[in-house]
Amino acid sequence: MLSVPNSELRSRVDAATWWHSIDLGGGIVTPGAKTAEELEKELAWLKLGDLRGKSVLDIGSWDGYFAFAAEKLGADRVVALDHYVWSYDLSEYMQVWNSCIERNVPVPAPDTLPDVWRPAELPGRRAFDVAHEALDSNVEVVVADLLDCDLKALGTFDVVLYLGVLYHMRNPLLALERLAQVTRGVAIIETQAEHFRAAERLPMCRFLEGGALKSDPTNWWTFNKAALLSMCRAAGFDRAELSRAPPLWQRRALAAVKGSAPFRAYVRAFP
């Protein structure tokens, strides 16, 4: 599995900032903010099954955990597409974030900070590159934004992963329209969602301003189940289904007390 000496790999892992915990072999697991156990659960929730003979597009790949997992599951072709998180250094940005939280001032978005935002250098891709080499991976890399890249050149895929991205989009319906255009099998969408009291059947979205969600200025929206499914259909998918969420009774109980219940939703959308 290792294509570089173990001691050198450890040094390179230590020099990078990780979001995903990835087993690189040789007793080395990257120190991601998301633990290996958390990621294993999330991977199981996707229910990818046997991917032999299939193509997979991982949009918003970050360190590449799900792209590499798809490769291990036998996918013939895997493409990791990202741009935003690869364009800044997470450790540098977290220093800014922590300072703002301590001073109780709004946290700026990474792309508004010239010293942090460096798309020409792609400092945020270092971790992905380390894992890619260590795993001797054939995952293809596309540095692009789904909203403005050449979709014809990108092509279509049997499985498209859109995990933890939709609620970061200023224009989520446009993002779903673009997603539909590159999906020929199934798109799996994981996003921040919200159950609104007395509005289960009414499609509703809540706009988040100024880091209202977890003090993250790149979080823009939450969606209820009805909105997620209807937006997928409006975007060009033939049908969509909620494949994973907390039990309905639990969402209803919390919303009855607090007015709404935040949760993470998994949607499978089919063209």
Length of the chain: 271
d(CA 189, CA 160): 8
Q: What's the sign of the alpha-carbon dihedral 114, 115, 120, 122? A: negative
Which residues are paired to 191 by β-bridges? 265
51-270 folds as Rossmann fold (3.40.50)
d(CA 35, CA 214): 19
d(CA 72, CA 66): 10
**Amino acid in the structure at residue 150:** D
Token pair listed for 166: 């939709």
Angle at 181 between CA 178 and CA 40, to 5 degrees: 80
- Rounded to two decimals, what is the model's pTM? 0.96
pLDDT tens for 214-262 read: 999 999 999 999 999 999 999 999 999 999 999 999 999 999 999 999 9
**Annotated domain spans of the chain:** 51-270
Largest CA distance in the chain: 59
d(CA 220, CA 171): 9
d(CA 180, CA 232): 8
DSSP string, 79-109: EEEE-TGGGB-HHHHHHHHHHHHHHT-PPPP
Query: Would you call 79 exposed, middle or buried from its count of C-beta atoms within 10 A (0-12, 13-18, 19+)?
Result: buried
Contact 91, 23 (CB under 8 A): no
Going from the first residue of the chain to its last (271 residues), give the mean pLDDT of each consecutive group of 10, the final group possibly shorter.
73 96 95 97 97 98 98 98 97 96 96 97 98 97 97 98 98 98 98 94 94 94 98 98 97 96 98 96
Centroid of chain to Cα 243: 17
Token pair listed for 108: 């700026």
